[in-house]
Amino acid sequence: MHSPISLPDERSRRQLFLNQERLFRLRSEQEKDVTLENLKSRLLRKADGHLNEPTTDFVITGPRMLERAQQVLTRVATLSLAYLLFERREHLKRAKQELMAARDFPHWNPSHFLDTAELCTAFAIGLQWLHDELSDSERECFREALVHKGLLPGCEAQEQPEWWVSVPHNWNLVCNGGLAIGGLAVADEYPELATQILEFSAKNIPLALDSFSPDGAWEGGPHYWEYSAWYSALTIDAMVTALGRDFGLSERPGLDRAGLFPIHCVGPAGLYFNFADADVSALPQASLFWLGRRYGLQECIKENHRRLTQHPEFIHPFDLVWYQRNENDLAEMPRSAYFKRAEVACMRSAWNDPEAFFIGTKAGSGQSDHAHLDLGSFVLDAGGERWASDLGPDDYDLPGYWDSGREGARWRYFRLNNQSHNTLALNGHLQDPLGQTVIAKASFRGDSQHLILDLSGAYSEDASTVFRGIRLMHEKGVLIQDEVVWLPGTKEHNVRWQITTDAQISIHENSAILCKEGRILQAGIVSPAEAIFQTGPAVAGNLERPNQGFSQLIVSVADFATYARVAVFLSATRANIEITPLSSW
């Protein structure tokens, strides 16, 4: 149990994120760091771009106004940091306008408390970073908005408690974290309120931080890893800069390895293995700088530099606040990784080779946070292109989107069930949303890396066992081998194997050529010998997001007695492959 909260003197409390050391480094003209100067220039351009934009308006879509709350936070932090670095009064004026507009919102939407928490963070940053440039009346009105529209509703929610207070996912981290950050910003004037909030937050945040255990992965996919890591870093850093301690939060198991997870999840095509409710974009993440420095992971620092180079239009103010120099001499990371709790694995033939093979796959359960029925699914990169894709999330406001029970409406949506993912459908059935599946074997030795996934729990309606083997043969290609043992008495024995792709597909019986951007990928059915490829549309319902440009490459086999095996080899050039039972892998 952490020790009771104690608040330091007033001067220390004002050092929220931007302490004197960080400000000096950012302002210093000595020892020029070309990359840092470039990022400062990017920040200035971004701040200038905000000058003529209208202030964020109050609009709630569905249950949330999260994008607008996040926009307020990003704008306030960008304009405020730009003012501190470049001392241009127009940035100060525009930051105040953004804060004033959000202060005048009728409420901060506490029924969707992520929105409230983001605005608490925005106002904390505005109050602290601009403290000496705000008039007494401005400080008072911004502080009162933070207290009455954010902290008091949040304190009440923590006391009840609301459902998000102790959940093991991002809502806990963002809501409790935003409240803690906001509390630190007004601790001079409201010490009892700040102390109470900090006590609640420090007690409950570990329940979500422990979801990074044991190896830093996040079951909700790489984008919810980003959101969770971002608020973990924000909250811990706010406590350290304001209080000098983080109550043991940074020592929670798995957080010290968390920065490696998004690195492994990015393929050579520069896209995420976007399982669960994630999309493919892998943009810079300031939290990688923070994680790299805090845990001595130079790989994280190097990765964020790589992303900042790949996306020169992108800058976040905390890329400067948490900036770390890039060290070039690093040992190469392992080419493969298995993340046990999330049941996610990634394999590649090489690092720093845009032509390399990459495959990301997963097991797990449909009951994980933001999960899809994507058990056994994979994405595949080769030759600088993504060939087997995950379509990503659908509209969160679709009816029943969060109804994830066995008969839940969530599973009727194409993007969320196994009909769209690069896995199997047996007898036309959906995977069991309550089924538990695991990566039963992971072998990463030598130039033939392989995995075996036990997917039996997802198909218990039709089969006694279902195993998927994935073998990466480095420069040769990837073998996907599935073995199904049917339940006795099962009337139908139909296996549908599929991948979803935005490549053009041409088929010649048991072989297919996928073509994209002048590149090709060969697909060949190794087993059963008589099977042939087919194509099909990636069809979505009327309310669902369209899947324009995507289609499916399909193998459909039937009439097996008790056992079925489907094996497909995906490679840059056609090759003859001999297969052996998965039991011998």
- SS3 string, 114-147, reads HHHHHHHHHHHHHHHHCHHHCCHHHHHHHHHHHH
pLDDT in tens, 486-544: 999 898 999 999 999 999 999 999 999 999 999 999 999 999 999 999 999 999 999 99
β strands within 427-537, DSSP E: 436-443, 449-454, 463-472, 477-486, 495-501, 504-508, 511-516, 519-527, 533-537
Examine the pLDDT at 221 and tell me if it is beyond 50: yes
Using CA atoms, how far residue 216 sits from 58, 171, 359, in Å, is: 36, 18, 19
Examine the pLDDT at 13 and tell me if it is beyond 50: no
Looking at the chain, the domain(s) classified CATH 2.70.98.70 span: 336-584
CATH of 13-321, one of 3.40.50.280, 3.40.50.150, 1.10.10.60, 1.50.10.100: 1.50.10.100
pLDDT in tens, 281-307: 999 999 999 999 999 999 999 999 999
Q: What is the 3-state secondary structure (H, E, C) of 255-317?
A: HHHHHHHHHHCECCCCEECCCCCCCCECCCCHHHHHHHHHHCCHHHHHHHHHHHHHCCCCCCH
Residue written as tokens 């209080």? 243
pLDDT at res. 12: 44
CATH of 336-584, one of 1.20.1440.230, 3.10.290.10, 3.90.1010.10, 2.70.98.70: 2.70.98.70
- Between 389 and 475, the more confident residue is 389
**3-class DSSP state of 18:** coil
Cis ω for the linkage preceding 168 (within 30 of 0) = no
pLDDT at res. 31: 65
- Between 356 and 327, the more confident residue is 356
Q: What is the dihedral of CA 134, 136, 137, 141, to 10 degrees?
A: 70
The H or E element spanning position 437 is strand 436-443
What token pair was written down for 253? 């198991």
Of the listed ranges 9-18, 44-53, 115-124, 334-343, the one predicted with least confidence: 9-18
Question: What's the gap between Cα 197 and its chain centre?
Answer: 27
Looking at the chain, the domain(s) classified CATH 1.50.10.100 span: 13-321
Average pLDDT over residues 151-178: 98
The H or E element spanning position 27 is helix 20-27
Average pLDDT over residues 267-274: 97
406 touches 432 (CB < 8 A): yes
Q: What is the dihedral of CA 252, 255, 257, 263, to 10 degrees?
A: 170
The one-letter amino acid at 405? G
**3-class DSSP state of 2:** coil
pLDDT in tens, 354-391: 999 999 999 999 999 999 999 999 999 999 999 999 99
What token pair was written down for 445? 């030795």
Examine the pLDDT at 247 and tell me if it is beyond 60: yes
What token pair was written down for 547? 């899947």
pLDDT at res. 481: 98
Examine the pLDDT at 400 and tell me if it is beyond 60: yes
20 touches 69 (CB < 8 A): no
151 touches 142 (CB < 8 A): no
Pick from 143, 130, 122, 480: nearest CA to 318 = 122
pLDDT at res. 234: 98
pLDDT at res. 328: 72
When the pLDDT of each residue in the chain is averaged and rounded to a whole number, the result is 95
Cis ω for the linkage preceding 214 (within 30 of 0) = yes
320 touches 26 (CB < 8 A): yes
pLDDT at res. 11: 45
